[in-house]
Each structure stands twice: as C-alpha cells, then as structure tokens.
Amino acid sequence: MHKEKLYPPIAMVKDFCSDTPEIFSIYDAALEKHLSEVTEYDIAKVITKTIKRFADEHEAKDYIFNLMVLDEWRKSKQVYTFSPQLYQLICEMDSDIVIENTIFEYLPNRTFYIDLPENGAKIEGVFVKYFHDDINNVIVLIALYENCFHATIAFGLDESDDLTFERFLKTISNNDLSEETKSLFCFAFNASLYLCSRNCDVKENRLQKDIYRPSRNIRDKFSEVRKWDVGYRISREKVNDTDLPHHVLPNENGRNRPRQHIRRAHWHTYYVGKGRSRRELRFIAPIIVNNIGDEMPVVVHKK
C-alpha cells in the first residue's frame, strides 16, 4: 500500500526538522523572550550556531532563512494558488518598475507559499517571507522542488532606495542558480507585487474552505492550510501576433505609425491620496496598441 504524498510545503517543514525535531519550539521560545531586544534574524542566527555546524557561511545563512520562513509559515499556512492564465501573464510581463521599497508592506500576509500550476517542471512552489532587520526590509524566497530539494535567496531593500526589478535581477544573478530557478524567483517577485497591487484578484478557495481547521496546537496537517485562488476571474482571449496587421499604417496626418501589436502585462503606478503624495501599484493586463475599432482581448471581471 502506497503512503499518501504529503502536501509539498508541509513535507518540507517535516524534512527540515527531521534532524532536530525540537528546533521550532526552541526558536519560538527565543523569539518570545528576546524579540523586543533584537531582530528575528539575529535570534535565528544564535539558535542555528548552538544546534548545528555548517561547512561554510552560505550554508549557515541558508539554514537561518529556512528556519525563519518555515517556522512562521507553519503557524498560519497561507497558500496562494495562481491561475494558469495569470501565471503565464506574470511570467511574460514587462517588469520595468520603480516604486517605493515599502510596497511589500501591502502584502496580505508576511509569510506565505505560492502553489504553482502544472508547468511540466519539477517545481512544486515557492515560499515568500517579508521582514525587517536593523537596516533593511528583506524578502526571502525559497524555491521548492520535488523531494524537498530547495534553493534560497534573500533580497535586501535599502530604505533609502526605490525598488526596481533590475536590482532584483542583479541579486539572483550573483547566486549560483539554474535558469529554471532564476525564472521561478522572477515569477515569485512579480507575483508578490501582484498581491500588493490595488486591483489584485484574490478569493478564498471554496474546497479548502470546507476542510480548513486551524489548530492552536500545530500539527502540520493539510486541514490547517488556508488556500486563496489568485487571478481566476481574469479571462484572456488568445490573440496571436499573426492575427494582427504586419504593415505600417498611416495616421490621419499621413505619417506612418507602428503596426498594431500587443503590449504585454505590466505595472503602473498612480499618485493617490491627499496631495497625490502616495504611489499606488496596479497590474495592467495585456492590451492592443494602435487598436483600430476592435475591443481589447483582455477582460477583468470584478464583483
């Protein structure tokens, strides 16, 4: 009789503490005692030094970040499942953006797991954690593969600088990662921004809602997982580039203008609030540029 496969993020939690089953209890006790004095990263660093030896500093940091992420995730077990359509839009989107690095303050949860749609790869999903240390705001991403194989990066957001996708790309380029993992981290970065956007489409998963049973005493069971569906109300009519005119059209002044084409999904910021002093992030779905009389092929249905 085959043993039922554990839900991947829960499997990673169990795998992480297999050598030291009490690690989460030790860390939680230290957080409760010292968090008002030092950062959670410093606490995780001290705990890690007392229980384990590592070959190098990189391996030790990897363990520290994994401890921080998994300990907090198992307490809430928040999961976001992106629709295949939105997943594809985000993977293909233009990510040229400049915005305040405090944008991640708008995340619905500080620690969560992104469940990926079937993509033909051996990737299960990615953990995301946002936290503050003494100097920076930090995003930690953990790519989860089959059999609990994983890759971890941390991206520091200097409070004096704006957030740009180019800076994030430099961070992952400086790590020894496969192209597949880099692509996953790029998706996770933009997916996190999507959850911060003013017009994000998020709704609790109906099937999981019926079995969701949070427990005060954490048991690391699937019934403790709370799932959210993301982007399932976005419908996209596929428009191939070959469907559009491939010639240059004259405008009313007789001058040539670029042919009709599709602009990929992208970010846009709007100044809002009193005195237009705050920038608000919005996700803009693909649109037809130089459209001539036809309706746009992307519709976002809102309730």
Is 106 in the same domain as 193?
A: yes
Is 73 in the same domain as 169?
A: yes
The answer to the question of residue 1 being in a domain is no
Is 160 in the same domain as 263?
A: no
Query: Greater confidence, 257 or 211?
Result: 211
Is 82 in the same domain as 24?
A: yes
Q: Inform me whether the pLDDT recorded for 264 exceeds 50.
A: yes
Is 122 in the same domain as 270?
A: no
The answer to the question of residue 65 being in a domain is yes
Is 111 in the same domain as 211?
A: yes
> What is the span of the domain harbouring residue 26?
8-230
Is 272 in the same domain as 200?
A: no
**This prediction's pTM:** 0.84
Is 142 in the same domain as 263?
A: no
Dihedral in degrees, nearest 10, Cα atoms 193, 194, 198, 202: -140
Is 35 in the same domain as 73?
A: yes
The answer to the question of residue 3 being in a domain is no
Query: Greater confidence, 124 or 94?
Result: 124
Please report which confidence band the pLDDT of residue 261 belongs to, taking 50, 70 and 90 as the band edges.
low
Q: Which of 189, 215, 230 is the last residue of a domain?
A: 230
Q: Do 157 and 163 contact (CB within 8 A), yes or no? A: yes
According to the model, what pLDDT value does residue 71 have? 97
The answer to the question of residue 173 being in a domain is yes
Is 38 in the same domain as 179?
A: yes
Is 67 in the same domain as 183?
A: yes
Q: Which of 230, 246, 280 is the last residue of a domain?
A: 230
Q: Do 47 and 22 contact (CB within 8 A), yes or no? A: no
Domain count, the chain: 2
Question: Lowest-pLDDT range, 43-52, 162-171, 241-250, 273-282?
Answer: 241-250
User: What is the overall mean pLDDT for the chain?
Assistant: 84
The answer to the question of residue 2 being in a domain is no
Span 62-88, mean pLDDT? 96
Q: Which of 197, 230, 263 is the last residue of a domain?
A: 230
The answer to the question of residue 157 being in a domain is yes
Q: How far is 181 from 191, CA to CA, in rounded Å?
A: 15
Is 275 in the same domain as 126?
A: no
The answer to the question of residue 143 being in a domain is yes
pLDDT in tens, 104-131: 999 999 999 999 987 666 889 999 999 9
The answer to the question of residue 198 being in a domain is yes
